Structure 1
Amino acid sequence: MRLSTSFGSRRAENRRQLEHLHRVLNDGACPVLSLDVFDTVLWRRVPHPADLFGILGARLRRDGRCPPWLTDTAFRRMRVAAEDEARGRSESLGSEVSLFDIWDAMPLSLFEGTPRDELVRAEVEIERAFTVADLDMADVLRLADKYEVPIVLVSDTYFTEEQLTYLLDRPELDTLRNARVFRSQHHGAAKGSGLWKIVLNGLGCRPEQVVHVGDDAHADQVVPASLGVRTVPYQRIDEDFAGVLEREQESAETFGPFGAHLDPEHGDFGLTSLRARTLGMAPAPTTSAVGTAWRYGASVLGPVLTGFAEWVAFHAHRSGTPVVWCPMREGELLSHLVNQAARSREWKVEARTLWLSRQVTSIASLDCFDRDSVREFVRRSYRLTVSRLLATLHLRPGDVPGLAGELDTVLDHDDIVDRMSAALTETPHLCNRLAVAVTAARERLLRALRDSGALDSPELVLVDLGWGGTIQLQLAHTLRIVQSGTRVSGFYLATDERSTRLHHAGLPAAGYLGQAGQPHETVEAVRRSPEALEQCTNALCGSLVDFTDEGSPVLGPRAGSDSQDAEIRSTQDGIRAFQRQWNRYVEHSGGTWPELTHSARHRLATILTAALKVPTTDEAAVFGNWAHDDNFGSSVVTRILPEDLRPAVPYLSPNDLDDLGMRDAFWPALIAASDTRLSAAARALANGLVDPGMFEPAGEPSETRLRFRTPDERWHDGPRRRVRINHNGLSFARMNFETDGATDVSLAIPGRPAIVRVDWIEATVIAGGDAEPRVLRWDKPDDFAGLTFAECTWLGANMVEFASPHAALWLPLADRTGAPVTSARITIAFAMLPQAVSGFTPRVPPASRVARLSGRARAEYRARGVAGIAAGAARMVIRRLAARR
């Protein structure tokens, strides 16, 4: 039997390696067990071994043994250079050196007269403090000891025998007491250059009798395998995880020269190594998407939520809070994590789930006699019809006769919102009818809270992901209305600026990674793209829309698919797997393992921020296909990577991603990740490697400007978007507007003199009170021939010459939909050739009159049939008569 890197898949290697290793030992097929030391038997609580040098420099400076001007960075580089110099000096002897040789190459005069041996001892003490016995290898060693299998340690190291013995002197590794040790420093040869022959000669056994475990692909696998040794690779960081670490280094708000936020006492708390260890234990995925989801849970959300759960349990324990409440749907996972954190630390805290939602608490806290309060409630809905919102409030259409003619109208603009708010509050009778419905909803909520035990204590502590603290605020208001005497406080992963409402109301609300919008980069990244985080932590059920009279939850329909459910389950399995790995070391340490409650937060914020800002192509392929429901009475379901933006990806620049609103794209960075060149451009821009001006056209900045005309023939200014040119030489604009009715839209596409190739224009509109949006598109020569051109000229096909900054083409929205438009999203994909602002550039001949007329006729026919052609002819006659006058 031969063990090699081929056994076990790359993504779940360590799990299978350990299983095979246990089997080999149990079967008696391992006469000699050989192990590497560092990153196999021992691992460090820092991302890279040299990271300890900066911490050593800080300790020496703190103790007065190092000048204050010698920074951690400078010391680290000096220590690395000294090792290189020491190896160069002894190259004739094989370049293997001791720690004493390395310190002989340091400028010892800088260290305030501290003897070399004392400095060496200080470095060994740092290594001792930051190295950890690998618990999986400790299990293997105990099994080998049980079957009396000889154990050998083979290590490339500059530590002496005494120093290495000191580092290995731990209760978990007591089985190494009789192990033979082969050190490169002692034998003058490394594993890759002769040490293995020394090992085999020293053991006096055949190569195939030795099973060696180590992390280095060359020194621990290729070289010994070439001699006949059976090798078991114990990989620490695979290629995919190396990419994750790289994006975290690039995306960090401020990071030291060794690429991580290191705590002087705890390094990176072992997060890098434990993430790698967890990833190495991945189960075999059923699909590549499931595997990607598991890895995301284990390497990104697992550490972040493990820290959050530990922070919640710590503060609840310290304040004497025996129970915290985790609102569903995230509550199922969060309560599990908090309970596991409390158990591993022996903290007296229990987390329980509680059914709550923004929709239920907003109804329960509604002031029916305050029109502004009712208006804010109505305005919060998204693409609900009047009848659907009435049903949410448990009102019948007959209860509000003033809205009888608008039951199918979508609440998508201020005018209909104002009319509905007025209709609900215009008479005492209607206010009372609404109050009855709201009071009943409030009583159902209160019964559910009482039955769960949430009102048994004077303080109800919520644990949630957070953002604005809306549920806490509304629940507190509801409890004040009924004078329950219960105060509501909250522990959140992060809160944005809206959470200041809680503080003004006297409600405690603490954020783990960020609070009240600070630090800005962390909170903004989470606030801008929360959907994947929310979906990854949700239970597989619909959101809470009401309670029964008995207090049981009434859930709405759930968006998603079987594949999405499998990927969510896999993500949560990865999250739990990391926490199990973390808690395993917590429990084994006897209370000495560092906590993630305070100084680790900056490192964890970097992990999450980097993942949100720079998702990988694999992550985009998985999360981009997930569906997301609106969760406030609406049945609207949107993909995290919207279908309508997929064709726009070749036109987008990194700057365009920042212009997209929440309703345009939940996670703009995911769009970039779906395209290799856009992703590279966005990453370079985010890391300051390129100037934002690279994506701006030459000359003065310009804007795409939208105006819309209402049925009273008045024009109104709409949104504007900066014109940019991306790596493909293409441009994109997307603009949204709401009104009580628009007939036409004017688009000044380049906002300057230019020849423009308009590849397509798409308008997603709500018109005539329709509940479902309609999609209108212009992408063919005949489509453009039928448009009106103001101060611009159609050149044929999809080419238009804009003569001035205000030159625009008009989209006849009402003609295409048959009714005025109340809300619209206009998307334009184009390429432009700027022209001189002076207007002296030679003009391009326009399309022939015959082409314009025939194209316009075809457009009229497609839109409205024969009647459309007749109407178009009538308009031409009217214009000619007007011209003669």
Structure 2
Amino acid sequence: MPEITPVTSTDTELWKTDNFLKPIEGKIETLRLLSVDVFDTLLFRCCSQPADVFLQAGRQAKQNGLLAEGVTPETFRTLRITAERQARALDPLGCGEITLEHIYAQLPAGVCDASRVKELELEAERELCYLNPHMASLIRFCQQRRIDVALVSDMYMSPNQLSSILKANGFDPFRVDAILVSSVDGGGKSSGKLFDVLLEAFPGIRPGDVLHIGDNVAADVDGAASRDIRSIHYPVIPETLQSPLHWESIRHGDVAPAVRSIRKLASAAAPDKLGEKEKFFYRFGAAVLGPFLQGFCDWILDICEKSGRTAVHPFMREAHLLGPMLERCAAMRGLPIKVAPLYISRQATLLAAMSDFGGKELDKVLALGGITLNELFRLLGLEEDNGQPVHSAYSAAQLKSEALNASSFAAYMKLTVPESRNIRFAEASSPSANGESVFDALRRCLLQEDTLERIRHKIAEQRSLLIGHIRQQCIGEPDKLITVDIGFNGTIQSALQAALDNEAAAHDTIHLMAVGTDKTAEWLLRGLDIRCFIGGGGEHSELAKRFARSPGFTEELMMGDFGSTLRYERQADGRIAPVLAELVHPPEEFRCKEACHEGVFAFQRYYDYLRQQKPKLLGTLGAREWSLILHRAIDMPTPEEAAGLGSLTHQDNFGGVSAEPICGPIPEQWLERGSEFFIDMSNFGPKTLNVYWPQGTATRYAPFYLYGRFARQADAFGGRMLLFHVMNRLAEAGIRTVHLFGTGPVADMLIREAQLHGIRVRGVIDPAASPSTRQRGPFEPISLAEAAAESDNHVYVIASLTYISEFKALIEERYADLRPDKQPKLFEPFA
């Protein structure tokens, strides 16, 4: 079993594996005070958005009869958000901060029992939060070195309320030297006021001896800098435009929210030894492939438990990753289940599954596609040990007459079977072949009785070796198999079943596949016990179709540095060994795959940590949620995914050797009419346009086509993409700081888009306010006069879809009065 290193918050070295915390290592010795943000830094949540806490509270309130009739949990979530906005507008403390009590005071008695629902919200926080083991590790590390630690949070909770959440999640609040919150201490971090309070609480410590860590640039970086305090930006939770989890939310909404943050945390632990390209594959393994495979492994082990099986047998080559994953998963769950991989492939079971060989079976073999005549003779056992074609036992008289043997095709051995249809066969010893194609002559040769006998002997031999290999690998229970495969049509499973039946071998086999097409349902009618994680003619078949249409990179990422099984041979010691195909992948691809596997194993470790903390939350995840994570990557890849995954080589050894990039070059004629036309044409099959992965190829040529397509649907074809393009233009122009001119929903959406694009919003200006009026919020408050007075930032984004011309004129008029030497740069949604 592979070694498993558990993730624990008490490991004082764990923080050094976090890519965002590694820079601290060289600064620790100069510290006297560590200041740590709380939410999204020390505490993570098992939900997609902080407001999801309100939804959970609303559900519990509804169940307890604390919401008015007609107020659903979803309605309560909206009311709770609105109540907070109203409370902030009232500014009851006179410093831009509010308490939880101020928020619930905005909810009328006719809506809910405010005091009791407030407690349910705190309970929801305790249930949904968990301790970030990296940050807890760093805090313990500092405390061992007698470095003071303070928790500093912009929050409407009181220190006691915050402490209750920390304590419920295994963090003793009495271990830190101070807990400061903006709602009690008279100001937030963005203004610098909360950092003033921090320095006052530790009078003997200078600003230069303090290090602050947090996830918000404006509050935790700029706010700290305003007081000469060093800071580390900790962006594990915030998402950017490049984040696969952001694209996931655009495509599918909230997917498996319980593991959303742990996927990000696992991604942040990429080893230093990896290069930049390898780090991408690590992150993909940790955030995308790992979660899907973990859900699949848990499903497999659930079936093992229910069926009383103690061994599971994944098929190679995918078992290179699935095997150790299953071993780790079983160990984490404390299950005594053995994992024994089987070297089985479509080609290795093709002959073994046949009960006889004649014209029907021959046509099946000839339909394999790119197989050459040389490979065909080898497959059928018509070659000698030296690799030359076997000479059929013809008499000299037959050789001079019309009989054909394998050596008659020596000149055509490099032809593929399809190519042989278009070449005229010319053989001196076969005068009757006048005008006959090589294909027709080949078929006539292979159907001669003595040749058929040789093939039937090969079939019996390979079937015996296949079953021998299974018994060899499955010591103890060869008659009770649970096979595991990534899946699709169930071809290998049906062939294996047929081989066992033809040999009259007793067996009680369960076949498990991650993904099944509707074809797998037909095998049920033939007596196979074949079960699918998704698809198989059952639930979530629409997802399974996308997996089966473009399986290339998923399959390749799971494989190691060895080829597929071609056949079996008995060695001198009597053991049966698989004969493996040679690989043609470049060495760099193997390094990328191994990096991906490291990411997958990292997700497993962090998932196990979270499962120990929040078993009830993770117990609700099902096949659909796990599958949507990988489905998004196939159906709507990010530009980085399309570039990295599309560059992998997909090698198929079934019926010949085919090795091509998953996203190869496409003739311009198929792209000039746009991405939508290209994707449509890709579905007509390889004779029209041979494309392994249409969505990946389309994204390589038009990076945001699919993003825009699904974003418009998610936004009910509203104005979201207009605002996306505004910020995208700014990013492409290299602009990193802007002012928003306008308030309300459009401004809120622009703030979100700015964060995704890595653009800082310096301030939000209310056009209706007087010059001295400041817009309070999570950004540095600023008026138009103050903005105009700045020396290095005169960029404004119009935050309106209605008053664009009016707002532009107002800005230009004010600049004419205040800064005639400057021309403001104005960006609007429709420009």
2:153 to 139, 152, 155: 155
Q: Deviations for 1:432-452, whole angstroms, at most 9, x for unmatched residues?
A: 222101111112222222221
Change (3 A) 1:291 1:564: same
- Structure 1 counterpart of 2:649: 627
- Structure 2 counterpart of 1:479: 500
- Structure 1 counterpart of 2:380: 393
Change (3 A) 1:599 1:690: closer
1:443 to 454, 458, 464: 464
Q: Which moved more, 1:117-126 or 1:63-72?
A: 63-72
- Structure 2 counterpart of 1:796: none
Aligned ranges 1:626-775 → 2 under 5 Å: 626-645=648-667, 648-660=670-682, 661=684, 663=686, 664-676=690-702, 679-686=703-710, 689=713
Change (3 A) 1:157 1:143: same
SS, match of residue 459 in structure 1? coil
- Structure 1 counterpart of 2:67: 66
CA distance in 1 between counterparts of 2:564 and 2:283 reads 26
Deviation at 1:616, TM superposition (A): 2.1
CA distance in 1 between counterparts of 2:68 and 2:512 reads 43
Task: Check conservation: 1:654, 1:685, Cα contact below 8 A.
Answer: no
CA distance in 1 between counterparts of 2:591 and 2:697 reads 23
Q: Deviations for 1:341-368, whole angstroms, at most 9, x for unmatched residues?
A: 1111212222222211110111110232
Aligned ranges 1:70-469 → 2 under 5 Å: 70-90=71-91, 93-111=94-112, 114=113, 116-170=114-168, 172-174=170-172, 176-177=174-175, 179-193=177-191, 194-204=193-203, 205-237=205-237, 243-252=243-252, 259-261=253-255, 268-269=257-258, 271-284=259-272, 287-369=275-357, 371-379=359-367, 381-396=368-383, 398-399=391-392, 401=404, 404=408, 409-412=415-418, 419=440, 423=444, 426=447, 428-453=449-474, 456-469=477-490
**1:36 aligned partner, one-letter code:** D
- Structure 1 counterpart of 2:634: 612
Deviation at 1:167, TM superposition (A): 0.5
Deviation at 1:178, TM superposition (A): 5.0
Deviation at 1:156, TM superposition (A): 1.0
Compare the two structures and name the one with the higher strand fraction. 1
CA distance in 2 between counterparts of 1:175 and 1:283 reads 31
CA distance in 1 between counterparts of 2:467 and 2:438 reads 29
TM-score with structure 1 setting the length: 0.69
Deviation at 1:69, TM superposition (A): 3.8
SS, match of residue 336 in structure 2? coil
CA distance in 2 between counterparts of 1:97 and 1:242 reads 34
Identity across the alignment (%):
25
1:554 to 575, 579, 587: 579
Deviation at 1:326, TM superposition (A): 1.2
Change (3 A) 1:515 1:86: farther
CA distance in 1 between counterparts of 2:16 and 2:85 reads 33
Change (3 A) 1:36 1:637: same
Q: Which moved more, 1:148-157 or 1:454-463?
A: 454-463
2:510 to 464, 489, 496: 489
- Structure 1 counterpart of 2:491: 470
**2:532 aligned partner, one-letter code:** G
**2:631 aligned partner, one-letter code:** T
Task: Check conservation: 1:541, 1:555, Cα contact below 8 A.
Answer: yes
Task: Check conservation: 1:322, 1:350, Cα contact below 8 A.
Answer: yes
Deviation at 1:651, TM superposition (A): 4.3
Task: Check conservation: 1:314, 1:342, Cα contact below 8 A.
Answer: no
**1:672 aligned partner, one-letter code:** A
Q: Deviations for 1:663-714, whole angstroms, at most 9, x for unmatched residues?
A: 40110111111113xx4344444556599xxxxxxxxxxxxxxxxxxxxxxx
Gaps of 5+ in 1: 1-11, 253-258, 263-267, 692-885
Matched, 1:46 2:22: no
Task: Check conservation: 2:560, 2:590, Cα contact below 8 A.
Answer: no
Deviation at 1:423, TM superposition (A): 3.6
Change (3 A) 1:283 1:671: same
CA distance in 2 between counterparts of 1:363 and 1:441 reads 7
Task: Check conservation: 1:517, 1:523, Cα contact below 8 A.
Answer: no
CA distance in 2 between counterparts of 1:648 and 1:171 reads 55
CA distance in 2 between counterparts of 1:120 and 1:180 reads 25
Aligned ranges 1:540-551 → 2 under 5 Å: 540-550=561-571, 551=576
**1:247 aligned partner, one-letter code:** W
- Structure 2 counterpart of 1:736: none
Q: Deviations for 1:113-139, whole angstroms, at most 9, x for unmatched residues?
A: x3x211111111111110101112222
Gaps of 5+ in 2: 1-14, 384-388, 393-402, 422-436, 716-831
SS, match of residue 510 in structure 1? strand
Change (3 A) 1:64 1:666: same
Q: Deviations for 1:860-879, whole angstroms, at most 9, x for unmatched residues?
A: xxxxxxxxxxxxxxxxxxxx
Q: Deviations for 1:412-466, whole angstroms, at most 9, x for unmatched residues?
A: 3997899589647745444322210111111222222222126734311111211
CA distance in 2 between counterparts of 1:188 and 1:134 reads 28
CA distance in 2 between counterparts of 1:24 and 1:260 reads 38
Deviation at 1:517, TM superposition (A): 6.1
**2:660 aligned partner, one-letter code:** T
CA distance in 1 between counterparts of 2:161 and 2:675 reads 55
**2:119 aligned partner, one-letter code:** R
For CA contacts below 8 A with separation 6 or more, give which structure has more relative contact order.
2
Task: Check conservation: 2:36, 2:151, Cα contact below 8 A.
Answer: yes
CA distance in 1 between counterparts of 2:246 and 2:103 reads 29
CA distance in 2 between counterparts of 1:79 and 1:375 reads 68
Task: Check conservation: 2:239, 2:245, Cα contact below 8 A.
Answer: no
CA distance in 2 between counterparts of 1:453 and 1:241 reads 48
SS, match of residue 509 in structure 2? strand
**1:202 aligned partner, one-letter code:** A
Calculate the aligned-residue CA RMSD, in Å.
2.9
CA distance in 2 between counterparts of 1:594 and 1:365 reads 45
